Amino acid sequence: MFFPYKAKNPFERFPAATLFIIIANCIVFAVTSERFFAVKREFVLAFGFLSRQTPFYTLVTYMFMHVDIFHLAGNMLFLWVFSGPVEDRLGRLSFLWLYFVSGVIGGLAQDMISNGLMKESLHIIGASASVMGVMGAYWYMFPWSRIRFFYLIYLFIRGTCEIKAFWVIGAYFLLDVFYGTTGINKGVANIAHVFGMIAGVAYCKMIGGRRDSEVMSEAKASQSKANDFSHLILPDLVAVVEAEPDNLKALEALMDRASSEDKNYILEKTFTKAGPALIEKAPEFVGRYLLDLQGDIKVYPSGQLLKLAALLRQAGKPEAALGLYQRLVESFPDAPDAEVAILRMAQIQWNQFRDAAAALSSLTKMQERFPQGRFLSYAQALRSDLKFAR
């Protein structure tokens, strides 16, 4: 027997949708079972899916029914192991769509083939088709991720091992194909499993789900062990950030490693590729690159630099905002945004630091450089405040 217990694929957000599904399945089983061991027959007949004999809503309710505690435990274990990274990447709403669409398609396929072509009258119950849909999505997006297993053979041989998702999920799929086509495993909805997984893969392809490379998967496996990216070598960090440019933990580790190895050219390529979108998501990271590491400021247009400085100021970092305005003025001396930057410098120098001399110097520079500027009226108002304060 092989039991997966961990996917070495860390994720950022807690899998709340997965937990909701697990709790719902456990509650339904508690209500429909005899002493929380085996489901009562009357509930199978009422809520199991059999297209010619049950209402249409049973195509959904069947997913929450389980034969016994072992059926429930197995499905929920596999769901918990594989769903976290899938939910994290797809988002909770999209993950729920994946789960239910896979279950519906799997149930319909099982009913049409088993109850239709093979003339078997079988009420379908269980979350297996939905779980296989999640596993199919995992197989598509994280094929080279490592899955840890506990194995037990004849009660004497036991231990743990790691198998890559591509092979282990593929093996489960082929077993279901074999059992479903031969009919050896009667009473188990193997056809539903097969089409549930196909639905999961198709769903990810349809929405353009991002796939991790083998290098990315290995980096995540290392992170799973050490709980951060700091121990990775520079090429692996570059691969991670290229695959996930908005992964802030990986970006921070890359900045530390590249600067310590005096390879800031790597950071220039990284920030150029990430583009202005990173300013909104992580202004302090961009500010650190431009100020502490003296990165190439012309990676960003002057308008985006004004936005970054404003975000830094809002974040309670006026010194960083002041430094960024200064760099903007030095790098884009004739741009209209330079006038705004000088005015903002004067405002920070007075409002945050109460340095009237520095503020007046900035205003004088602004008037000399932009004698017909659009913001001279604001400068004059600030100059009046300074004179009154003095």
pLDDT of residue 65: 94
The rounded Cα 302 to chain-centroid distance in angstroms is 31
Rounded-to-integer distance, Cα 203 and Cα 99, Å: 10
161 & 306 share domain: no
pLDDT of residue 390: 54
Residue 201 φ/ψ, nearest 5 degrees: -65, -45
pLDDT beneath 70: ranges in the chain: 1, 115-121, 155, 222-228, 230, 388-390
Residue 43 lies in a domain: yes
C-beta atoms surrounding 14 within 10 Å: 11
pLDDT of residue 5: 82
Give the pair of three-digit tokens for residue 63. Answer: 């997913």
- Burial level of 328, CB count in 10 A (0-12/13-18/19+)? buried
pLDDT of residue 225: 56
Q: How many residues does the chain have?
A: 390
189 & 281 share domain: no
Contact 8, 221 (CB under 8 A): yes
151 & 240 share domain: no
51 & 159 share domain: yes
Task: Mark which of 274, 292, 308 sits at the end of a domain.
Answer: 274
Residue 219 lies in a domain: no
- pLDDT 10s digits, 108-162: 998 888 766 666 667 889 999 999 999 999 999 999 998 988 877 776 777 788 8
Q: Longest Cα pair distance anywhere in the chain, in angstroms? A: 95
Give the pair of three-digit tokens for residue 237. Answer: 């960090």
Contact 59, 49 (CB under 8 A): yes
Rg (CA), the chain: 30
pLDDT of residue 119: 62
Assign 3-class secondary structure to 209-233: CCCCCHHHHHHHHHHHHHCCCCCCC
pLDDT of residue 233: 75
Rounded-to-integer distance, Cα 99 and Cα 130, Å: 5
Q: How far is CA 211 from CA 80, 85, 92, 123, 308, in A?
A: 20, 12, 18, 36, 31
Residue 94 lies in a domain: yes
Give the pair of three-digit tokens for residue 241. Answer: 């950030």
Residue 216 lies in a domain: no
Contact 295, 264 (CB under 8 A): yes
Contact 121, 130 (CB under 8 A): no
Contact 18, 84 (CB under 8 A): yes
Give the pair of three-digit tokens for residue 98. Answer: 């994946």
pLDDT of residue 223: 63
Residue 214 lies in a domain: no
7 & 156 share domain: yes
162 & 92 share domain: yes
282 & 197 share domain: no
Instruction: Tell me the residue ranges of DSSP E strands in 294-365.
Output: none
Task: Mark which of 252, 274, 296 sits at the end of a domain.
Answer: 274
16 & 161 share domain: yes
Rounded-to-integer distance, Cα 264 and Cα 346, Å: 32
13 & 113 share domain: yes
Contact 301, 276 (CB under 8 A): yes
The conformation of residue 124, written as its DSSP 8-state character, comes to B
168 & 307 share domain: no
179 & 36 share domain: yes
Residue 55 lies in a domain: yes
Query: What's the count of helices (H) and strands (E) in the chain, helices before strands?
Result: 19, 5
Query: Looking at residue 178, which CATH number applies to its domain?
Result: 1.20.1540.10
pLDDT of residue 295: 86
pLDDT of residue 22: 97
Total domain count, the chain = 3
36 & 167 share domain: yes
Instruction: Tell me the residue ranges of DSSP E strands in the chain.
Output: 2-7, 33-34, 38-39, 146-153, 157-164
- 336 is in which domain, residue-wise? 277-390
pLDDT of residue 328: 93
From the list 212, 260, 266, the residue with the least C-alpha distance to 235 is 266
Rounded-to-integer distance, Cα 304 and Cα 279, Å: 8
pLDDT of residue 388: 63
